Amino acid sequence: MDLFEYISVLTSIIIGLGIAHLLRGVARLIQHPGRHRTWWVHLVWVGYMFFQMTFWWWWEFNLNTLDLWHFEDYLFVLLYAVVLYLCCALLFPEELGEYDSWESYMMSRRGWFFGLMALTNLIDIYDTWLKGAEHFERAGTAYIILTVTTFSGFAAAAITTNRTYHKVFVLAGFAYQVYWALSFIGTLV
């Protein structure tokens, strides 16, 4: 086992736990459909995070090209996986408690969820750079523009209670995730 494989085992476990958390949450919604009113925006964010987790795991394979791993790079990759896991955990808390719906829960936790999502955009810049200058250059100006735009969108979602904004933002974000994923079918670059 080389160093990359060794490191990727722990990050894969964290990402796997996040995906399991999402799947367990969806299963609970199916098992107890009337317990709390669902909100389609919440469900789309669940789908978004599922895509985010699976594609993060896929794209991290590009780190196998690193010849030299520093401990801070290892900690950085772990931090990235942990932040993604926390986003999944926020989508499905253990108990909704005093909240009568997923909408009221999501709106009350929007600062945390969207704040962490904004943080993933900043973290991704270093992650892209870590994969090599050539990889970063291939991402191009469009990557930087998209990252800044997405960061701004998440920051606004963390602040605003405007339901229309949340509906449009989640649809645009998920549509882009699907488009982006399908545009790289069959590639790893």
Q: What are the backbone dihedrals phi and psi of residue 150, each rounded to the nearest 5 degrees, phi first? A: -65, -45
Q: Is residue 150 situated within a structural domain?
A: yes
Q: Which residues contact 49 (CB under 8 A, 6 or more apart)?
A: 18, 22, 84, 87, 88, 91
Percent of the chain at pLDDT above 70? 96
Q: Is residue 189 situated within a structural domain?
A: no
Q: Is residue 19 situated within a structural domain?
A: yes
**Interval 133-172: pLDDT, tens:** 887 788 788 888 888 999 999 999 999 999 999 999 999 9
Tokens of 158: 């963390």
Q: Is residue 82 situated within a structural domain?
A: yes
Q: Residue 73 belongs to what domain range?
A: 3-183
Q: Is residue 170 situated within a structural domain?
A: yes
Q: Is residue 164 situated within a structural domain?
A: yes
Cβ atoms 29, 70 nearer than 8 A: no
Q: What pLDDT is stored for residue 73 in this prediction?
A: 86
**Interval 68-118: pLDDT, tens:** 888 888 898 899 999 999 999 999 998 888 898 999 999 999 999 999 999
Q: What pLDDT is stored for residue 178 in this prediction?
A: 84
Q: Is residue 44 situated within a structural domain?
A: yes
156 burial (CB, 10 Å; 0-12 / 13-18 / 19+) is middle
How many structural domains compose the chain? 1
Q: Is residue 188 situated within a structural domain?
A: no
